[in-house]
């Protein structure tokens, strides 16, 4: 393509040099929003930023200081491509809470579970291969799938998560069309953005269907320990160690700034993941890994998670009661864990076109279209209740109600 071929090219002299896949990359709607949404006068119900204020910052400061002074030789050095062995051992304790038994060798430490999403997609997807994913799906995963030139096919969910019959039908149809399905991408607990969880009854059904169709499952589970009223549900990986790649993260149960997540995969897959990760980043950060190891060893991490669950439950309650009071024309689910409420706007409203007016009214959310590969879902929006205080949430929803009311009048 010559430099003057398209509107965007005059601004970018290298337009014609990009790989085809770079043309598929776009700024996520969330990132585009980030600058405005983070202005102090805006109540941001947009980003899924955990409540860092709930952490014992003084104690963590001391911990970081000790880490550098006492273990600087290791913490500030390159490390193993697969990740620190001591941390991989402790990750087993975290996963045991969801019924997973594994060996430290099965674990690959990554730079957040976001990198794990990219690694899995990198090793499995050739351009045009199909990834089956829930409708809606986590925007960051869709960004990876798009960048790696996958073709995403959505399967609907209801209040109990992914609908097994629809999954079966979709896989059967894709097979009949001769399309190659590489994996099912699913967030079974406190889904981002839908807020729902895959019911206990459905878990073995989803496993059975995927096994029958020869389709691997990518289980992305950053929120599983953040249920408000119940103990964690067994992970899909706890029921099948050969057909599931499991992704975990310390971002929501501890802190995203360390950028530490992990993948647990069948033996041969794990070897490929390590090779792909070494090619991409050499090794995950030793400083972050040792910090997390020290945190797990010396702090009451389970007590901290319990504290987060209580704080987030209070914020969920503030969100739901404010919606009931101020936007009764909308409908929504009541999540029993995680960070998100998925709101369906009153008939005829479009969350995407309404967003600039919401920002002017000093409230931010993410339009539902971000969570569909084809940009549908504009009748929905996602509210994140993790970051603002309950008072700010109530204020944000009051502001949102004024925008919705104005839209309904026009």
Copy the structure tokens of residue 121.
């997609």
Other CB atoms within 10 Å distance of the CB of residue 369: 21
Say how far apart CA 103 and CA 137 lie, in whole Å: 30
Per-residue interface string for the shown chain with ligand PMP, residues 140-159, x marking contact by CB under 6 A: x-------------------
Please tell me whether residue 261 binds ligand PMP under the rule CB under 6 A. Answer: yes
By CB under 6 A, tell whether 219 contacts ligand PMP: no
Distance of CA 224 to the CA centre of its chain: 12
Q: Does 186 bind ligand PMP (CB under 6 A)?
A: no
User: Could you say whether residue 121 binds ligand PMP (CB under 6 A)?
Assistant: no
**Taking the CA atoms of the chain, what radius of gyration do you get in angstroms?**
22
Contact between 251 and ligand PMP per CB under 6 A = yes
Question: Nearest distance from residue 138's CB to ligand PMP, in Å?
Answer: 4
Give dist(CA 351, CA 381) in Å, integer.
6
Least distance CB 257 / ligand PMP (angstroms): 9
Q: Which residue, 182 or 382, has its beta carbon nearer to ligand PMP? A: 382
Q: Which is nearer to ligand PMP, 164 or 284 (CB)?
A: 284
Which residue sits closest to ligand PMP, CB atoms considered? 112
371 binds ligand PMP (CB under 6 A): no
Least spacing, CB of residue 145 vs ligand PMP, in Å: 12
- For 278, the token pair is 């070494």
CB atoms within 10 A of CB 72: 12
Q: Which of 114, 238, 283, 288 binds ligand PMP (CB under 6 A)?
A: 114
Output the smallest distance, CB 191 to ligand PMP, in A: 8
Beta bridge partners of 217: 184, 244
Q: What gap in Å lies between CA 131 and CA 374, rounded to an integer?
A: 14
Side-chain half-sphere CA neighbours of 262 within 13 A: 26
Q: What are phi and psi of 92, to 5 degrees?
A: -60, -35
Can you give the binding site for ligand PMP, defined by CB under 6 A? 48, 112-114, 138, 140, 187, 192, 220, 222, 249, 251, 256, 261
């Amino acid at each position: 393509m010559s430099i003057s071929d398209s509107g965007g090219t005059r601004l970018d002299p290298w337009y014609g040099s990009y790989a085809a896949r770079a043309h598929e990359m776009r700024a996520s709607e969330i990132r585009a929003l980030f600058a405005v949404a983070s202005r102090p006068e805006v109540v941001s119900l947009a980003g899924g930023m955990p409540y860092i204020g709930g952490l014992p910052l003084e104690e963590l400061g001391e911990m970081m200081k000790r880490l550098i002074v006492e273990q600087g030789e290791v913490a500030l050095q390159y490390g193993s491509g697969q990740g620190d062995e001591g941390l991989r051992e402790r990750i087993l304790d975290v996963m045991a809470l969801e019924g997973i038994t594994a060996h430290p060798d099965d674990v690959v430490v990554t730079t957040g579970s976001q990198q794990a999403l990219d690694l899995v997609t990198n090793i499995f997807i050739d351009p045009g291969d199909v990834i089956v994913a829930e409708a809606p799906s986590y925007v960051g995963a869709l960004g990876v799938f798009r960048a790696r030139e996958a073709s995403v096919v959505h399967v609907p969910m209801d209040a109990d998560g992914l609908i097994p019959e629809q999954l079966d039908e979709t896989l059967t149809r894709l097979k009949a069309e001769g399309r190659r399905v590489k994996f099912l991408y699913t967030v079974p607990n406190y889904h981002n953005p839908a807020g729902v969880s895959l019911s206990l009854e459905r878990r073995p059904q989803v496993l059975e269907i995927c096994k029958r169709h020869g389709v691997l499952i990518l289980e992305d589970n950053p929120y599983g320990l953040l249920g408000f009223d119940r103990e964690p549900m067994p992970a899909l990986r706890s029921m099948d160690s050969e057909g599931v790649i499991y992704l975990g993260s310390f971002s929501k149960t501890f802190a995203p700034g360390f950028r530490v997540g992990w993948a647990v995969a069948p033996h041969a897959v794990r070897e490929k993941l390590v090779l792909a990760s070494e090619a991409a980043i050499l090794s995950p950060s030793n400083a972050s890994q040792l910090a997390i190891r020290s945190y797990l060893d010396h702090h009451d991490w389970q007590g901290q998670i319990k504290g987060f669950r209580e704080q987030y439950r209070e914020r969920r309650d503030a969100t739901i009661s404010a919606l009931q009071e101020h936007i009764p024309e909308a409908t929504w689910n009541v999540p029993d864990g995680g960070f998100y409420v998925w709101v369906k706007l009153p008939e005829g409203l479009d969350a995407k076109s309404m967003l600039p007016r919401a920002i002017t009214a000093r409230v931010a959310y993410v339009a539902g279209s971000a969570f569909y590969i084809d940009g549908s879902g504009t009748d929905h929006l996602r509210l994140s209740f993790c970051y603002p205080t309950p008072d700010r949430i109530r204020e944000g929803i009051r502001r949102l109600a004024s925008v919705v009311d104005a839209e309904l009048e026009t």
